[in-house]
Amino acid sequence: MALQLGDIAPDFTQESTDGPINFHEWAGDSWVILFSHPADFTPVCTTELGEVSRLKPEFERRNTKAIGLSVDPLDDHTRWVGDIEETQGCGLNFPLLADADRSVSEAYGMIHPNASGTNTVRSVFIIDPARKVRLTITYPPSTGRNFAEILRVLDSLQLTDSHKVATPVNWQDGDDVIIVPSIDNEKAKELFPNGWDEKKPYLRVTKQPNK
């Protein structure tokens, strides 16, 4: 069964380009982006691994670690790393799990039972420091992942965990936010002293509180 939001992300120990990884221990008190690939030497995934390497400072700024996964063995990973640096201009700077036995893929429900091979191993998970799954996305093989969107969701999750707000459609960090309906106006006056625009009793728009 696929993981649901709020589930505890399964722990595992697996080989990687950075040596054996015990997942929960490796994650520590960080957020984690875990994303998977159907095989090594695949064109779309090559571009993605380069992009995540370039984005490492952005992940670090958000107390977040990235970790990739492919179902090929470690020797293939080692050769693929050279191709990634050559073609993307950025060397791999985060672990890539060698899930040759598919134990991690199976534990995370990445392989659709009716799919042939590993074509559906194109998943993304955002996992918080309490090890809870906070986002899941599965992409088709032909479509590269949008890591700007993944960073946007990460910003939203971290903001809404700290403040009694939700983020509206197309929100970007710094935009106005919505006061959650569970907070009445009296409490909202304490939490949002600069006020809000009440478009409807359930739709109260305010400035992002941490800006």
Per-residue pLDDT of 14-38, as tens digits, reads: 999 999 999 999 999 999 999 998 8
Give the pTM.
0.94
Q: Distance of CA 57 to CAs 51, 65, 185, Å?
A: 12, 10, 39
Per-residue pLDDT of 161-206, as tens digits, reads: 999 999 999 999 999 999 999 999 999 999 999 999 999 999 999 9
In the predicted structure, residue 120 carries a pLDDT above the cut 60:
no
> How much is the pLDDT for 147?
97
Residues 6+ apart with CB under 8 A from 140: 122
Q: Distance of CA 134 to CAs 61, 192, 195, Å?
A: 19, 26, 30
Tokens of 4: 């649901």
Cβ proximity of 9 and 106 under 8 Å: no
d(CA 86, CA 28): 32
45 noted as active-site residue: yes
CATH code for the part of the protein at 13-143 = 3.40.30.10
d(CA 107, CA 85): 30
Delimit the CATH 3.30.1020.10 region(s) of the chain.
163-206
Tokens of 113: 């039972």
d(CA 73, CA 144): 23
Residue 83 pLDDT class (50, 70, 90 cuts) = very high
What is the CATH architecture assignment of 163-206?
2-Layer Sandwich (3.30)
> How much is the pLDDT for 141?
83
Stated as kind and residue range, the H or E segment containing 138 is: strand 133-138
d(CA 18, CA 167): 36
Delimit the CATH 3.40.30.10 region(s) of the chain.
13-143
Options 45, 92, 96, 165, the catalytic residue: 45
> How much is the pLDDT for 117?
61
User: Average pLDDT of the chain?
Assistant: 94
d(CA 182, CA 160): 13
Per-residue pLDDT of 125-167, as tens digits, reads: 999 999 999 999 999 888 999 999 999 999 999 999 999 999 9
> How much is the pLDDT for 111?
80
Per-residue pLDDT of 48-81, as tens digits, reads: 999 999 999 999 999 999 999 999 999 999 999 9
